């Protein structure tokens, strides 16, 4: 048994047993992946995967038990490598941040500028993805900090700290009828809508508001990217519902932002770290730069608790 075999078992579960994706993610060949699986099954004397022909459909009970062990072994091995890195590279290295497009484009620039002034020898990598992808990157040790919505806050393997609360706004082409109307859900529901896709950037709050008012929302286009939403609003395809910070008015855009704070519940952006993982000093500093009201001692205490520990609620007192 070796680390590559354990990585394949873990990656197969993440990729829903698509061996082509497993091979691509691990920078190896599909035949090599299949060979490692066969060798491990022969060594253990049990089948790890449920098969139909050459296709993998799922994991057997021994396979599920092995997956749990493999994840733990790989996690501990990662901590050993991280231990050496933390104590030999205190002022330099790479800070990897997984976040959504909206936060990368509109919320992070001022923080990253301040961080670069404090830590000029640290390189930054920004990975943009959905909240689900961000959580997966944190748990796999592929990102140091994850920035997203409630999915980061609710996962037991992560320690989460509030950054800020935000609201949705409406975006319409200049001269739109809504500029002369009361901004109510009923009036908004009369127009085609363009907003975020399911699972990101507070979309659930938009859907909930219309459902609670017994109104049907005509969402004609949904996207992951705030700039994509704005592009199609500019084309006149509908009324945009997007994050306030992404709806700043540009004099040349031909768009008007309308206040919608009273229509939808606020959302919270959370800063996530993998629980129980050693961090370099610049990781703690980055969180402090995001929200100066967070206590460094409290951040460390919560983040270094082992997975599954009860964490205390952190008060959110920075809003925009």
pLDDT at 83: 59
Q: Do 281 and 82 touch, CB atoms closer than 8 A?
A: no
Q: Residues 42-55: pLDDT tens digits?
A: 898 999 999 888 88
Largest Cα–Cα distance in the chain? 73
**Percent of the chain at pLDDT exceeding 90:** 48
pLDDT, residue 115, reads 95
H or E stretch covering 212: helix 203-212
315: pLDDT strictly greater than 70: no
- Per-residue DSSP letter, 121: T
Q: Go through the domains of the chain in sequence order and give each one's CATH number.
A: 3-84 (1.10.10.10), 92-165+267-303 (3.40.190.10), 168-259 (3.40.190.10)
pLDDT at 220: 97
- pLDDT for res 313: 47
Which pLDDT does position 192 carry in this prediction?
97
Distance CA 229, CA 239 (A): 9
Mean pLDDT for the stretch of residues 147-154 = 84
Instruction: Tally Cβ neighbours within 10 Å of residue 235.
Output: 11
Q: In the structure, what pLDDT confidence band is assigned to residue 319 with cuts at 50, 70 and 90?
A: very low
pLDDT at 234 over 50: yes
Among the ranges given (73-77, 208-212, 270-274, 308-312), the one the predictor scored with the smallest mean pLDDT = 308-312
Alpha carbon distance 180, 296 (integer Å): 48
pLDDT band for position 126 (cuts 50, 70, 90): very high
Start-to-end Cα distance in the chain: 52
303/305 Cα distance (integer angstroms)? 6
Tell me the average pLDDT across 48-74: 88
Confidence of residue 16 (pLDDT cuts 50, 70, 90): confident
């Amino acid at each position: 048994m070796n680390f590559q075999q354990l990585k394949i078992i873990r990656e197969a579960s993440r990729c829903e047993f698509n061996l082509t994706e497993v091979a691509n993610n691990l920078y190896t060949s599909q035949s090599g992946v299949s060979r490692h699986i066969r060798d491990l099954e022969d060594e253990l004397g049990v089948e790890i995967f449920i098969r139909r022909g050459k296709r993998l459909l799922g994991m057997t009970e021994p396979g599920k038990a092995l997956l749990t062990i493999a994840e733990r072994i790989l996690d501990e091995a990662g901590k050993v490598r991280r231990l050496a890195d933390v104590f030999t590279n205190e002022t330099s290295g790479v800070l990897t941040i997984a976040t959504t497009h909206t936060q990368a484009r509109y919320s992070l620039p001022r923080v990253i500028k301040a961080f670069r002034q404090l830590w000029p020898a640290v390189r930054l990598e920004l990975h943009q993805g959905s909240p689900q992808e961000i959580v997966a990157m944190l748990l796999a040790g592929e990102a140091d900090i994850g920035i997203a919505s409630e999915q980061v806050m609710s996962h037991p393997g992560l320690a989460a700290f509030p950054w800020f609360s935000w609201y949705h706004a409406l975006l319409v082409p200049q001269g739109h009828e809504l500029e002369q109307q009361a901004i109510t859900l009923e009036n908004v529901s009369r127009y085609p809508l363009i907003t975020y896709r399911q699972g990101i950037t507070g979309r659930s709050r938009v859907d909930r508001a219309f459902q609670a008012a017994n109104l049907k929302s005509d969402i004609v286009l949904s996207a992951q990217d705030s700039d994509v939403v704005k592009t199609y609003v500019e084309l006149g395809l509908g009324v945009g519902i997007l994050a306030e910070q992404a709806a700043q008015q540009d004099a040349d855009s031909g768009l008007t932002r309308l206040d919608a704070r009273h229509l939808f519940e606020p959302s919270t952006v959370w800063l996530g770290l993998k629980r129980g993982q050693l961090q370099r000093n610049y990781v703690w500093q980055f969180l402090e730069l995001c929200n100066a009201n967070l206590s460094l001692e409290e951040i460390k205490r919560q983040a270094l608790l082992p997975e599954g520990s009860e964490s205390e609620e952190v008060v959110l007192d920075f809003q925009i």
